């Protein structure tokens, strides 16, 4: 590298560090050599190198989801940065801060058929919060000051107003290799440093609190719904419990909401954690009839709740969201754009201690009774035989305090809500609910382990595992415990529960083109990457091997083989059992 390039990349790394970036995920490449060198030499950065940019992107997003601070990915030129697109889409849709630093060819090589050269400008389109062209390294002070301003400004845009990815494009000329004696890593510019950026908080509007207070006071059958949220974006459990007590509302919380475990046995909260079978029950929905709903986080991932909404056109729904518009049905009564915890605190304080109105008390008691009925049915069906539900319940019941539960998309997300009764335990939850895709799940979970610094358990399906099998590369030298629990049900069994499974015209194509049944040895694949792997065929074995995996550093793959259609059969049995039980005990499903 020339002295000008050496100073330029050092200033770039220093500016990223000053803006709060601390984690960098690199992938090997020639054009990105100066960028990688500057980051590796900088004392503020923790760097990891991942072979595949697609995996590297998801690892960085998983890292940032747990910390709330932007993670950095660095690629060479050509097709390499295009592999970031799926992770950039996830970061954009989930509101996760991310900085994508793409090395590029100089202007004179563009449109000249130079190898590994393509147009990288605005490569990620609408999914990037900003595109910043860093230009070519020049020795003059104005250029370097402009570089620092652009970098600090881009990181700020990755964090506010809506967190998400930004792209920095750096055009670099040869020679790219570090000079023999680069000198000490001192500041390139001798002044007070880059501009400090202070981001605003989103406090609730006073008029919104007054509206919500009136609605909650008038309601007799209220619900607080908590959908998916990142750990640093979730509503504070203590504030939520106080609000539940003040409103007299029952609480429905997905596992991915970050509050479900924390509210497990809070006496102030009527927690309805068996909501999915209830919402799917026609007997329950006939007498359900909530009159007011407060919603925090993303919309519920619940087919049953969609049915409830379809049958309740006049329901008053009030959502609280820091960003976005969480209303796929288009029926919100109000949307308060603010951080959720200040809203919960302000509304709880405004309402004070609500007098125990008979109607509200009766409502909560009925919700609690219906919830207990669900778990009796679930427990009975789970213990009938070894299958997916028992495997999921075993994992949830084996999580030690202080861990991360990472959830694969499709079935695992739904199964933890359906199978696992809430027990109070200190657990953070990671998922890819931005776009709900199955790509990058292994890489993202590795990033979650790194970002949290906690032992991590990933519960993933076999297709999710296979889709990101290259992510196992990044797990080889992991120093934290990571248990990758693969539910091997021989394909994408979420399709067994979809209408396509009942379509006679696709029956002969179903297994090959939707389910993708396979006979692959997942343990052998894991061992080929140098990881420990065990095949599991029962609950006691799963419990023991999971404890071992979480008690030692490094990644362990636990291939849990379950009957292929056990998830479908369990869901049908539970929904049928709840429906029958509610029909026989109508008080649990009916409004007084």
Quick check: bond before 219 cis, omega within 30? no
Distances 537 to 388, 547, 556 between C-alpha atoms, Å? 11, 16, 16
Q: What is the spatial order of strands in the sheet that 532-536 belongs to?
A: 427-431, 403-407, 456-461, 481-488, 554-561, 532-536
Beta bridge partners of 337: 321
pTM: 0.92
State which CATH number among 3.90.1170.20, 3.90.1150.10, 3.30.460.10, 3.40.50.970 fits the domain covering 3-171.
Answer: 3.40.50.970
Going by C-beta distance under 8 Å and a sequence separation of 6 or more, which residues neighbour residue 363?
A: 220, 221, 222, 248, 250, 591
The 10s digit of each residue's pLDDT in 400-438 is: 999 999 999 878 888 898 887 777 778 999 999 888 888
Q: Give the CATH class of 386-562.
A: alpha beta
Pairwise CA distance, residues 425 & 138, whole Å: 55
Residue 375 per-residue DSSP state: H
Pairwise CA distance, residues 359 & 395, whole Å: 38
Q: Give the CATH class of 206-380.
A: alpha beta
Going by C-beta distance under 8 Å and a sequence separation of 6 or more, which residues neighbour residue 42?
A: 10, 13, 14, 17, 185
How far from the centroid of its chain's Cα atoms is residue 591's Cα?
36
Each of the 592 residues of the chain gets a pLDDT tens digit; together they read 788 899 999 999 999 999 999 999 999 999 999 999 999 999 999 999 999 999 999 999 999 999 999 999 999 999 999 999 999 999 999 999 999 999 999 888 878 888 788 889 999 999 999 999 998 898 888 888 999 999 999 999 999 999 999 999 999 999 998 876 555 544 555 565 788 899 888 889 999 999 999 999 999 999 999 999 999 999 999 999 999 999 999 999 999 999 998 887 788 999 999 999 999 998 898 888 899 999 999 999 888 899 899 888 889 999 999 888 999 999 999 999 999 999 999 999 999 865 567 888 888 999 999 999 999 999 998 888 898 899 999 999 999 999 999 999 878 888 898 887 777 778 999 999 888 888 999 999 999 999 999 999 999 999 999 999 999 999 999 999 999 999 998 887 777 777 877 788 887 887 777 778 888 999 999 999 999 999 999 999 999 999 999 999 999 999 999 998 888 888 889 999 999 998 887 665 555 4
Domain parsing of the chain, residue ranges: 3-171, 206-380, 386-562
Q: What is the spatial order of strands in the sheet that 334-337 belongs to?
A: 250-253, 222-226, 292-296, 316-321, 334-337
Rg (CA), the chain: 26
Pairwise CA distance, residues 270 & 367, whole Å: 8
| Same-fold call for 3-171 versus 386-562 | yes
The 10s digit of each residue's pLDDT in 354-367 is: 556 788 888 899 99
């Amino acid at each position: 590298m020339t002295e000008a390039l050496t100073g330029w990349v050092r200033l770039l790394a220093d500016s990223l560090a000053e803006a709060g970036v601390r984690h960098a995920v690199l992938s090997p490449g020639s054009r990105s050599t100066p960028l990688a060198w500057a980051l590796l030499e900088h004392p503020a950065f923790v760097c990891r190198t991942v072979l595949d940019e697609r995996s590297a992107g998801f690892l960085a997003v998983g890292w940032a989801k747990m910390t709330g601070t932007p993670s950095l990915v660095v690629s060479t030129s050509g097709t390499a940065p295009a592999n970031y697109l799926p992770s950039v889409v996830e970061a954009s849709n989930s509101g996760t801060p991310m900085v994508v630093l793409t090395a590029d060819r100089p202007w004179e090589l563009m449109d000249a058929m130079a190898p590994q050269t393509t147009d990288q400008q605005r490569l990620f389109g609408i999914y990037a919060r900003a595109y910043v062209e860093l230009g070519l390294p020049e020795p003059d002070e104005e250029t370097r000051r402009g570089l620092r301003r652009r970098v600090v400004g881009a990181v700020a845009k990755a964090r506010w107003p809506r967190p998400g990815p930004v792209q920095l494009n750096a055009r670099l000329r040869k020679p790219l290799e570090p000079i023999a004696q680069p000198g000490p890593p001192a500041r390139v510019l001798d002044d007070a440093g880059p501009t400090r950026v202070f981001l605003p908080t989103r406090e609730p509007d006073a008029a919104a609190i007054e509206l919500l207070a009136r609605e909650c006071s008038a309601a007799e059958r209220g619900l607080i719904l908590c959908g998916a949220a990142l750990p640093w974006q979730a509503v504070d459990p203590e504030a939520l419990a106080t609000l539940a007590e003040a409103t007299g509302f029952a609480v429905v919380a997905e596992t991915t909401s970050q509050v479900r475990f924390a509210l497990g046995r809070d006496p102030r909260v009527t927690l309805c954690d068996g909501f999915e079978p209830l919402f799917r029950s026609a007997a329950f929905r006939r007498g359900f009839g909530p009159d007011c709903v407060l919603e925090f986080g993303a919309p519920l991932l619940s087919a049953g709740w969609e049915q409830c909404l379809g049958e309740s056109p006049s329901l008053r729904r009030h959502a609280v969201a820091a960003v976005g518009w969480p209303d796929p049905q288009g029926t919100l009564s109000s949307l308060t754009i603010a951080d959720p915890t200040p809203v919960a605190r302000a509304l709880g304080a405004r309402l004070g201690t609500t007098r125990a109105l008979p109607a509200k008390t009766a409502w909560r008691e009925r919700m609690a009774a219906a919830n207990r009925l669900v778990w009796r049915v679930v427990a009975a069906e789970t213990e009938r035989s070894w299958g997916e539900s028992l495997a999921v319940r075993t994992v949830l019941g084996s999580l030690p305090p202080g861990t991360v539960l990472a959830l694969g998309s499709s079935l695992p997300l739904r199964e933890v809500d359906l199978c696992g009764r809430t027990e109070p335990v200190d657990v953070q939850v990671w998922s890819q609910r931005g776009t709900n895709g199955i790509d990058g799940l292994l890489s993202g979970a590795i990033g979650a382990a790194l970002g949290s610094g906690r032992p991590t358990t990933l519960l993933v399906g076999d297709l999710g595992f296979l889709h990101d099998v290259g992510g196992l590369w990044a797990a080889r030298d992991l120093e934290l415990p990571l248990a990758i629990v693969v539910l091997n049900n021989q394909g994408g069994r979420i399709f067994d529960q979809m209408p396509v499974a009942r379509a006679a015209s696709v029956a002969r194509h179903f297994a090959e083109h939707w389910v993708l049944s396979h006979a692959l040895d997942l343990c052998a694949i894991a061992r080929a990457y140098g990881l420990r792997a065990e095949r599991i065929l029962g609950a006691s074995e799963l419990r023991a091997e999971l404890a071992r995996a979480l008690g030692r550093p490094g990644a362990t793959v636990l291939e849990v083989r379950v009957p292929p259609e056990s998830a479908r059969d369990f869901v049908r049995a539970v929904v049928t059992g709840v429906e029958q039980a509610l029909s026989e005990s109508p008080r649990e499903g009916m409004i007084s």
